[in-house]
């Protein structure tokens, strides 16, 4: 379902359109550069699927060009590759959603029935049957948690 590709990128500092900001003295203006980190594809780690891809990272407000250059150098020294995970096509996702909806419907019916039986048995003061109903509620709850965990793991 999920497909992960890795590629090597060179991190470079680029500049957005400069902004006009307040100057050091009151009533003055200055033009401030707005740096960001961009990438240039420079090699493949898994396969050529990411050739032509471009990533960019906006930096916090007020980051200087020097700080941006330092960040880019740090990334170039320390990152071996960048991984991009793409999930299946729309048809695969639609099937997953449909299956999840059916599972949810079954679990909802099971929990609802088990809770109704538990309430009925408690009202009738039938302790043994109430304990069995409680076990059914517990079983349906565990199934719900297990189904949810599996769904999350499929998309990680």
* In the predicted structure, residue 18 carries a pLDDT above the cut 80: no
* In the predicted structure, residue 49 carries a pLDDT above the cut 60: no
- Whether residue 67 is found in the same domain as residue 12: yes
Domain boundary among 37, 65, 86: 86
- Whether residue 81 is found in the same domain as residue 97: no
Q: What's the predicted TM-score (pTM) here? A: 0.46
- Whether residue 26 is found in the same domain as residue 100: no
- Split at pLDDT 50, 70, 90, the class of 72 is very high
Domain boundary among 44, 63, 86: 86
Domain boundary among 86, 106, 141: 86
Percent over 70 (pLDDT), the chain: 76
* In the predicted structure, residue 113 carries a pLDDT above the cut 70: yes
Which of 5-9, 41-45, 81-85 has the lowest average pLDDT? 41-45
- Whether residue 100 is found in the same domain as residue 148: yes
Q: For all residues of the chain together, what is the average pLDDT? A: 80
- Whether residue 102 is found in the same domain as residue 141: yes
Number of domains in the chain: 2
Q: Whole domain around residue 31: which residue ranges?
A: 3-86
- Whether residue 62 is found in the same domain as residue 33: yes
- Residue 101 is encoded by which pair of tokens? 């909806």
- Whether residue 48 is found in the same domain as residue 98: no
- Whether residue 50 is found in the same domain as residue 114: no
* In the predicted structure, residue 48 carries a pLDDT above the cut 60: no
Which of 2-11, 112-121, 133-142 has the lowest average pLDDT? 2-11
User: Within 13 Å of residue 24, how many CA atoms lie on the same side as its CB?
Assistant: 0
Three-state SS annotation for the chain: CCEEEEEEEEEEEEEEEEEEEECCCCCCEEEEEEEEEEEEEEEECCCHHHCCCCCEEECCCCCCHHHHHHHHHHHHHHCCCEEEEECCCHHHHHHHHHHHHHHHHHHHHHHHHHHHHHHHHHHCCCHHHHHHHHHHHHHHHHHHHHHHHHHHHHCC
């Amino acid at each position: 379902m999920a497909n992960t590709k890795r590629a090597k990128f060179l991190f470079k500092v680029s500049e957005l359109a400069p902004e006009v900001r307040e100057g050091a003295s009151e009533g003055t203006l200055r033009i401030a550069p707005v740096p960001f980190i961009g990438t240039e594809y420079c090699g493949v780690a898994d396969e050529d699927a990411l050739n032509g891809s471009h990533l960019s990272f906006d930096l916090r407000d007020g980051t200087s060009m020097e700080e941006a250059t330092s960040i880019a150098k740090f990334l170039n020294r320390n990152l071996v590759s960048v991984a991009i995970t793409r999930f299946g096509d729309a048809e695969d996702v639609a099937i997953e959603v449909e299956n999840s909806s059916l599972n949810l419907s079954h679990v909802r019916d099971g929990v609802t029935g088990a809770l109704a039986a538990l309430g009925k048995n408690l009202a009738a003061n039938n302790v043994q049957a109430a304990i069995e109903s409680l076990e059914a509620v517990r079983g349906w709850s565990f199934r719900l948690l297990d189904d949810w965990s599996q769904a999350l793991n499929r998309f990680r």
